[in-house]
Structures are given as C-alpha cells and as structure tokens.
Structure 1
Amino acid sequence: MSIQGTPDLGKLDGEIRTLDPATGAVRTFATGLDNPRGLTFTGRHLVVTDTDKIFTIDRSGTVQLLATAAQFPFKAEFFNDVTAEPGGGAVYVTEMGARTKARDPQGVLWPTDSPEALQIPAEARVYRVSLTGQIRAVNTPSRKSLIINGVGLGRSGLLIADMFYGNIVRIEDGRQTVLASGFRGADGVEQAADGTIYISSFDNGAVWSIDRDGENPRTLLSGVGSRSTADFYLDERGKRLLVPDTLHGTVIVLPL
C-alpha cells in the first residue's frame, strides 16, 4: 500500500508498505518517494505513480525512475492511478487533467450543472508506458472523462473512473463509451472475472458495484466520510476488497 508524505515535493517522506490482512501486520517495503498513489504489479516489478514521476520497485524494495512528466507528449502534472498490461511489458497511467479547477474554495466538487463545471477544460489522458520507457496516449481528452482518477483492466478494453461527473468509461481502440454515471468522486475502478465492476468514491466514502453493462448498481459500503475511500485492491481469490480509508488511516476489508 502507498503511504503519502507531506504535500510539498522533494521531502521524500512517502513509502510503500506491505500489509498482512490476516494479522494486520505492516512493514516498510520501499522508501524515498514523495506522494505515491497508484500501485500495480507487472509480474516482476511494482510500478507506482508519484505526482509527476513514475517509478518501478523490484522485489528487494529498490526504487528506480521509469518516467517523468517532462517525457510525456502532452502537459502532464499529476499522475494518479496505474494498472499493468497483460504480459507485464507496459502499464497504463492516468494523468488527471484540470483537477485544480474541479473544486470550490472549500474543496468540494462543483455542482455538475454549475457555470464552473462548464469551464473545466477537458485535458485528462491515459498513457501507455512501456517498462523500457516508450510513452503514448491512448485516448483523446473528452468531457466523458473530464477528471480521470482510476484505471483498471476491463474484460474488453480499459476502464477509467471520471472523478467529476462520476462516469465509468470504457476505452477500446481509442473510442470512449460511458457505461454508467453518477458515481461522483470516483477513485478506484476494477472489473472481476464475472464481469462485475467495483467503484470507490473518495468524496462520498462509498463503494459500489455494477454489472458488466453498467446496470444494477449496488451500494457495498457507505458512510465512511468525505476524502476517505480511495483506490482499492480487488482480491478475487480471497473474495474481498481491500479499501484504504485515508480519512482514518485504516484499511477496510470488505467481503464480496
């Protein structure tokens, strides 16, 4: 799990830690990061997003730089989530876009029908980053995915979570299709082998599920609090979600 440091970059006080859900035991695995967020495992390395950088971490906890924002073909300021491509040769990384314009002065997302919402530019992108450093965009900025947070492998194409409108969007061959909407503050998104899609909301303290077609929404967790339920781990073998609660500094084990 990723432990973010202080907001200012350069202090290198962020860490990656391991957690044993059975005992609650936690230990430090890697250090020297700033604000690590998304994590994925390629089969050989962990890959972690850290604001304006992407790192790999080997089995011994050694951290190596994979890419910086300056290497990307379009403006990149805030990398959030990451998921591994089948085969482990590359990862998909979300760059959030105009995230600083999505909230009012109190830090609350603007109403979707407000003038401020219409003024948010579509700039968010998903990038494919190979483990040898090749980078390409896989989508065109769209209001369907205005502020991209989560990314996960779908049964067909990629799934991304738009934090502003709460859209769950499939990207397939560059085409973006909204599967479902209304999950505001959407943070993590993953699809299980049976097609069920799981979604967490950072703003709403909630976790939901929908079916493969984006229908039949169910609330699996609610009432945790704003700025809480972030990107989660889908443990299909253990039939559970491991949901970080950043508000309270805990991990919630949510049986499926």
Structure 2
Amino acid sequence: MSEQRFTVDDLLHLMAQLRNPDGGCPWDLKQTFATIVPSTIEEAYEVAEAIEREDFEHLHEELGDLLFQVIFYAQLGSEQERFDFSRIVDTLVRKLVRRHPHVFPSGQLYGDNNIADIDESEVKRNWEAIKAEEREAKGEKGTLDGVAEGLPALTRALKLQKRAAGVGFDWPEIDGVLEKVEEEIRELRSAIANEGAERAREELGDLLFSCVNVARHLKVDPEAALRQCNRKFERRFNRVESALKEDGRQPADASLEELDRLWDQAKSGE
C-alpha cells in the first residue's frame, strides 16, 4: 500500500492550525507580514542555491519551504479579511493567461485555444508590452516605475537597466560598456586619492552599476555570478586554511607572501 500523499488543502489546514489562538504554535501566532519577510528571502535564495548546485535531491524540499511562505501570507491575509490562498491562485492564473495570448488567444484557460506560430523574441516583446499596460493601469506611468526598492541591489540595477534598454537607452555593443567600466575605475581611483570616502562610495556604486551592465550584455545574472564567485573564494580559502592547519597554524600566523603562495596553489589545483 502506497504512503499517503498530502495535498495543498492539507497544507492550508496545517497553517490554520498553527495560527489557531486555541492551541496553535506560539511562534507562528506572533508573526506578521513584516516579520516573515526575511524568511521568505532566505528560502528563495536556498532554492536558487540548490538549483545552482544541481542538488535536485533536495530541491523539492527547498521549494516546499518557499511554498510555505506563500501559505503563511495567505493565512495572514485571510485572518485580516484582505485575501486568501484561492484569491492568490485566481489572480495568478488570470495574469498568466493574459500575458500569454499566443497560448490562450480566447483569453480563457480552457476552451478553443490554438497556439499561435510565434518565436521567442516576439513572445518577449508581447510580454513586456502587456506588463507595461498593467503597470500603467496601476498608475505606474514612468518607464522605471514599479521596480521594487526591496530587491537586492544587483538585481534591481539589472531590472532598471532592462527597463531603460527596452525604450532604447542602451549601449549598442558591449565594448562601450567595458569602456564605461574602465572610466568608472579611473574615477574611483581619483576619488580615493583626492576626494574622500563619501565621493569614493558614490564612484564605487557607479562602478558596480556598470559591472551589472556588462553582465546584462553577456546575458548573465549578476547575482548568480557573484554567488558563484563567493563559493569559489570560499573553496580556495578553505584550502589555504587547511594547508596551514596541517602545520598547526592559522591564517593569522602566516605572512601575506605565504598566503598568496598557498592561494596560487589552491587555484592551480582546480
């Protein structure tokens, strides 16, 4: 006999029980929309990390943790009579049907929907046009309106640049972007030498923004690229530290020259 499989309805029931003032979980009962935001962000990054590591054995578990965040918000919304899970699903399905007219030309999820002969570039153009209409309906009339300020800075920079590029404000070739990076490096050097910390911070921001532009032209996610770099740095530094520990030492006990030598060895061993 196969093991019972729980459903979304079971998950909704579980969440209601956790938030039940009569016998629920004290921690869950204390939470608000604001207090669970950090957990939501953390769970999203854990999903991304599992995918980047190709840890598909545990990906379903991480996706479940992320889904629980949505269920938690739905419960809070229901308690405050703002929305519930069914409204979340309804709004999502309607939006996706609206944004895929090439798949649902009748505007209905079910029925006579003949898939149109359309290429990916046209799909993207239509998608952006429909999203622009939706933003305007919300009163967001500017090109850059609606890009959430709570996004990680690299991700928000990428979204802002994509919006601007969508209306023609973009470098035609990556060479121009790379020249801009070099210009920003020169300006950062000058600020450090002559203008103090505050000006240097501004120039550093300009440099990072330009680096995101390079990533966009390369069709690389800058957040993912930096996460990969972080893992590489961590892996190599751990090798340096392990080599020193074999002699009963810590990194602080070694000279910079020795650390550089061990670092080069760690790099060459990959």
More helix by share: 2
Whose Rg is larger? Answer: 2
Q: What is the TM-score with the length of structure 1 in the denominator?
A: 0.27
More strand by share: 1
